[in-house]
Structures are given as C-alpha cells and as structure tokens.
Structure 1
C-alpha cells in the first residue's frame, strides 16, 4: 500500500510542477491528503515495531515526536535504532506537514509547503523500507 501512495504523490507532484499559474485547490488537497497518509503509515509502522519489540508506546502529549525520537535510538539489549538520525530529521518534516494538514484551513495549504516533501518521496520510502525491513517484520495491526 505505501508504494501506491508514494507513486501517487510522485505523479501528482510532477503534474503540479508542470502547472504555470495558480495551482487548482483540488490538486493541492489531493497531494496534501496523500502526504498525510504517507506519514501516518510510516508512524503506524514505527508504532507497531516499538510496541511489539520494546513492549510499550509513548503516551505523552507529544507522543508523535517521542515516537520518532525513540525510533532513532537503540534500546540496549533489545534492538538497534529503527531509523537513522538523518531519517528522523526527514520524517520530522513530514510530521510537521501532517500537523498542518490536520489543523489548517484549505487556504493555508501552499505548494511551497509541500513541494520539498514530494520531491524525493520515492527515495525516502526506499531508505525507510530498507532500514526497517532488514531488521524487522511488521507486526500485524491489533484493533
């Protein structure tokens, strides 16, 4: 599923880049939604690994940031870091955009706030997937 979303982000980003003039709101909203889903999926993967391997989930009011931080640190005697410090910084940008998407009005969405996120989306996904896939199988989601 993430590959499909990554492909849609990449295609839509290229399409928007070719537009001269005002970018239709529908395209910005579609791209914003896909970026939101991409990051939410990454966060879900990290949460399932942390919960399964470390045996707990952050519960603070800022658990989203804490999850990224914990994922970028090894747990001695339990697991290596799930993501690199560089990936932590990259994903922090996606997390910040997800927050904007959830709490902003449509008029606040601007291409300049999204273009850097879609530019290397395929590389980000491949680097993320390579790092965790080599060390972890993704536990099934418990509902």
Structure 2
C-alpha cells in the first residue's frame, strides 16, 4: 500500500480472504492493531505536548493480549497455508 494511510490499508488487506490466501489477521486482532496504529499517530502528532498517562497505561495493559492474538493469527495462517500447499 502507498499513501498517507498505508498502515491502515495494510492492516485491512491482511484481514481479507483472497483467492491466493486465507486472511492473515482475525477481525479481533485487526481492531487491536488498528487501535495501536491510531495511538501511534496521536502520540507522534499530539501527545508530545500533552501526554495523557491513562491512555498510555491503557495501551500498555492491552499489549500482551494484542501480541498473543497476533501470534495466534500468524500461526493459524502459516498452518493453513502449509495445509493448502501440501
């Protein structure tokens, strides 16, 4: 993806079920990753002047859950692709 919103487009593309591959990410993981993407954008553009500790802590609290969801999705994707190509 190209353009200003390439991060968002990439996440959205990874959720699609395409003829050449199954979805890489589940809807739940997509939403969690998009929340981090949006937070990063705000942090880089706004929070340098007015950081909100509660928002930072909220994102930190969700990090392990997000990582576990991403790892599960990637493992499932690899397994599915290996089964398809076997």
The TM tier, using the shorter chain, reads 0.7 to 0.9
| Alignment correspondent of 2:74 | 132
Q: CA deviation at 1:60?
A: 3.0
Paired residue secondary structure (2:24)? coil
Q: CA deviation at 1:65?
A: 0.9
Task: Find the aligned partners of 1:79 and 1:97 in 2 and give their Cα distance.
Answer: 29
| Alignment correspondent of 1:64 | 7
Task: Find the aligned partners of 1:105 and 1:135 in 2 and give their Cα distance.
Answer: 35
How many pairs align? 78
Task: Find the aligned partners of 1:105 and 1:125 in 2 and give their Cα distance.
Answer: 24
Paired residue secondary structure (1:108)? coil
Task: Find the aligned partners of 1:118 and 1:108 in 2 and give their Cα distance.
Answer: 18
Q: CA deviation at 1:105?
A: 4.7
Residues 116-131 of structure 1 mapped to structure 2, 5 A cutoff: 116-131=58-73
Identify unmatched segments of 5+ residues in structure 2. 79-86
From 30, 33, 38, give the equivalent of 1:96. Answer: 38
Greater fraction of residues in helix: 2
| Alignment correspondent of 1:73 | 16
Query: TM-score normalised to the size of structure 1?
Result: 0.49
Query: TM-score normalised to the size of structure 2?
Result: 0.77
